[in-house]
């Protein structure tokens, strides 16, 4: 029996477009000899639909496409995900459901039993959990049907067992040929290698049968989905594997226990670059922007952001703007221009010196007798933000914010200035990792001038300014941030790891102090296990003192 694993890139709420994707993949699977094709979680809806589920018309419209699925299933058996109504008189109104359909009829409905409530997930807000773990027989084989989190309730995978029930334990009671797990599991660096493969191997070993894992692919707002669907045997062997960060159909022979094996990554940095590229491309495409505009400072962050945008969209859809100010070095403008030439993008220069003088003159009476300070520095950053947003408005382009995670964490960024934008491309990428991305891009394209990579980072908002005048060295800063933000360790625990007490205290104070800034940041592409935004919800006003 041949089974197609169809990882598609749905658009949330585009029900008929998603049906077209389903039909195309189903037809290809049929032509390749499959009798069953499996699609990801909520494949007809797109994941996550969030508060669109509060609109009754949204759910009603999603169910109108079922007749099209019935026609598809007349040629091939299909497993797909959608929303169904809760048939019970109490509880949440909807269920996250997997359906097995064949010969124009619904054979089985499996409702998701474990609803994640942590990090970026809030499925308990919308869905009523299922009661039973579903199984079905097809062409002489017996399958268990689960949805994403249903197989995650294992010690060592989650911080603790979050749920009182375990669908995997139920599967052990059945002599199944394979477990199907349809998923929309967001990406972060190393997730597949460190979490998904060990999890799937463990489940396959427990149920003594292969696990067929079909994951959504694509970018939806902050979240990026890798795809990388696979089949894992009880021995932990990956016998079938899909592509990463692109739509794919792979075929698995359940009788022979073998299937298509796409090439996997040898370097994790390549995986990260592909994730960011997909995040940019899908955000721009799904939101309907014709292109992007980026402020080019001559620094590493804007250079990497522009390079990723060119890979994602093509040079013709990227516009770089240099905005030299009173403290900008001639080298920075030269570097920005050189970068643009190498990338092949449109490049413009809009000086802000006269704007800055006019602004300071306009405020001179109010600021009379007061020495220049960070206020004047931020005026420069905000004038640059004004220029970029004006170009964005006038030409309908998406402004890409270029700040990295290290800066966002400690507030080394200007609200309504360099934080302006519709998408923060590297807002979840620590500064030390930004340099690695630059080096890797240059190994393929040689786009980023050497001087940009080698010179000390500077905001150039005052004479001879350097980032390290204000911040600890980035390797130390990033290590502390990973422990404090990523792993939620306390001040004492971090110092216990060997970090300087004063430096650790400084970093933690900066992170806490700048929560209000991050609340107003653009959406950040999530590529680590703990990103700012939906996955980290801290109060702005509170009295808890850690240091």
pLDDT by residue (tens digit) across 389-442? Answer: 999 999 999 999 999 999 999 999 999 999 999 999 999 999 999 999 999 999
Q: What's the pLDDT score for residue 432? A: 95
For the segment 50-60, what is each residue's pLDDT rounded down to a tens digit? Answer: 999 999 999 99
d(CA 167, CA 338): 57
- Report helix angle 431-445 to 268-287, nearest 10: 90
What token pair was written down for 6?
A: 């169809």
Strands 398-401 vs 423-424: parallel, antiparallel or unpaired: parallel
Give strand pairing partners of 182: 147, 214
High-pLDDT (> 70) share of the chain, %: 100
Closest by alpha carbon to 352, among 327, 330, 334, 373? 327
- Exposure of 464 by Cβ count < 10 A (0-12 exposed, 13-18 middle, 19+ buried)? exposed
Q: What's the pLDDT score for residue 165? A: 94
Look at residue 61 and tell me whether its pLDDT is greater than 80. Answer: yes
| Banded pLDDT at 534 (limits 50, 70, 90) | confident
Tally the C-alpha atoms within 13 A of residue 261's C-alpha that lie toward its C-beta.
Answer: 8
Question: Who's near 311: CB < 8 A, 6+ residues apart?
Answer: 273, 277, 441
Q: What's the pLDDT score for residue 463? A: 80
All structural domains of the chain: 2-264 (3.60.110.10), 271-457+514-519 (3.40.50.620)
Average pLDDT, the chain: 96
Among all residues, which ones are annotated catalytic? 41, 112, 148
Strands 94-102 vs 77-85: parallel, antiparallel or unpaired: antiparallel
Look at residue 469 and tell me whether its pLDDT is greater than 80. Answer: no
Look at residue 461 and tell me whether its pLDDT is greater than 90. Answer: no
Question: Which sign, positive or negative, has the C-alpha torsion 43, 44, 50, 53?
Answer: negative
For the segment 390-405, what is each residue's pLDDT rounded down to a tens digit? Answer: 999 999 999 999 999 9
Higher confidence at residue 158 or residue 196?
196
| Banded pLDDT at 546 (limits 50, 70, 90) | confident
């Amino acid at each position: 029996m041949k089974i197609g694993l169809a990882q598609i890139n749905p658009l949330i709420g585009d029900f008929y477009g998603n049906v077209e994707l389903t039909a195309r993949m189903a037809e290809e699977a049929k032509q390749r000899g499959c009798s069953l094709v499996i699609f990801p979680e909520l494949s007809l809806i797109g994941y996550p639909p969030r508060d669109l589920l509060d609109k009754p018309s949204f759910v009603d419209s999603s169910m109108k496409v079922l007749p099209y699925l019935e026609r598809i299933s007349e040629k091939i058996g299909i497993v797909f995900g959608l929303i169904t109504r809760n048939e019970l008189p109490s509880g949440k109104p909807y269920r996250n459901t997997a359906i097995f359909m064949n010969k124009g009829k619904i054979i089985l409905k499996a409702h998701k039993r474990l609803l994640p409530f942590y990090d970026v997930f809030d499925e308990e807000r919308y869905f009523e959990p299922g009661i039973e773990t579903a199984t079905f027989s097809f062409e002489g084989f017996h399958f268990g049907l689960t949805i994403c989190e249903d197989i995650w309730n294992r010690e060592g995978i989650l911080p603790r067992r979050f749920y009182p029930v375990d669908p995997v334990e139920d599967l052990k009671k059945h002599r199944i040929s394979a477990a199907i797990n349809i998923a929309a599991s967001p990406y972060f660096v190393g997730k597949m290698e460190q979490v998904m493969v060990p999890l799937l191997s463990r489940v396959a070993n427990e149920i003594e049968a292969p696990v067929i894992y079909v994951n959504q692919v694509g970018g939806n707002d902050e979240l990026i989905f890798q795809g990388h669907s696979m089949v894992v045997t009880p021995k932990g062997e990956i016998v079938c594997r899909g592509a990463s960060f692109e739509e794919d159909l792979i075929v698995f022979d359940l009788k022979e226990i073998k299937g298509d094996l796409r090439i996997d990554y040898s370097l994790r940095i390549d995986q990260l670059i592909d994730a960011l590229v997909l995040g940019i491309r899908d955000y721009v495409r799904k939101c309907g922007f014709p292109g992007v505009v980026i402020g080019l400072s001559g620094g590493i962050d804007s250079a990497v952001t522009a390079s990723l945008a060119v890979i994602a969209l093509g040079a013709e859809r990227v516009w770089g703007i240099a905005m030299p100010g009173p403290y900008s070095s001639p080298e920075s403008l030269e570097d920005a221009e050189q970068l643009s030439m190498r990338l092949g993008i449109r490049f413009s220069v809009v000086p802000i010196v006269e704007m800055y003088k006019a602004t300071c003159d306009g405020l001179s009476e109010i600021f009379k007798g007061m020495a220049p300070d960070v206020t004047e520095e931020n005026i420069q950053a905000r004038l640059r933000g004004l220029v970029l947003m004006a170009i964005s408005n006038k030409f309908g382009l998406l402004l890409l914010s270029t700040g990295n995670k290290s800066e966002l964490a400690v507030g080394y960024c200007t609200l309504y200035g360099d934080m302006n934008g519709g998408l923060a491309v590297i807002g979840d990428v620590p500064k030390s990792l930004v340099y690695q991305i630059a080096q890797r891009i240059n190994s393929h394209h040689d786009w980023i001038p050497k001087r940009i990579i080698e010179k000390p980072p500077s905001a150039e908002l005052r004479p001879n300014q350097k980032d390290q005048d204000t911040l600890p060295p980035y390797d130390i800063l990033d290590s502390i941030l990973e422990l404090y933000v990523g792993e939620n360790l306390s001040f004492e625990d971090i110092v216990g790891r060997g970090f300087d007490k004063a430096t650790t205290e400084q970093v933690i104070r900066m992170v806490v102090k700048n929560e209000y800034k991050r609340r107003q940041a653009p959406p950040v592409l999530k590529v680590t296990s703990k990103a700012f935004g939906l996955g980290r919800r801290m109060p702005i006003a509170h009295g808890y003192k850690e240091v």
